[in-house]
Amino acid sequence: MPYTDAFKTQMVKRMVGPGAVSAAALARQVGVSQPTLSQWLREANRVAAMTPPPEEKKPTVPAGPKKWTPEEKLRVLAAIQGLTGEELGALLRSEGLHEAQLREWQQAAEGALSGTSTEPLPAKERKRLAAAEKGVKELERELHRKEKALAETAALLVLKRKLQAIGWDERPREGEDDAADEKSEK
pLDDT by residue, tens only, the chain of 186 residues: 578 888 888 888 888 877 788 888 888 888 888 998 889 888 888 877 666 666 655 556 556 667 778 788 888 888 877 777 888 888 888 888 888 888 888 888 877 777 665 567 788 888 988 999 999 999 999 999 999 999 999 999 999 999 998 988 666 556 555 555 555 555
Model pTM score: 0.30
- Which of these, 125, 108, 8, 25, lies nearest to 68 by C-alpha position? 108
- Please say whether the beta carbons of 23 and 38 come within 8 A: yes
Q: How far is CA 178 from the centre of its chain?
A: 75
Helices and strands: H and E segment counts in the chain:
8, 0
Name residues whose C-beta falls within 8 Å of residue 8's C-beta, 6 or more positions apart in sequence.
40
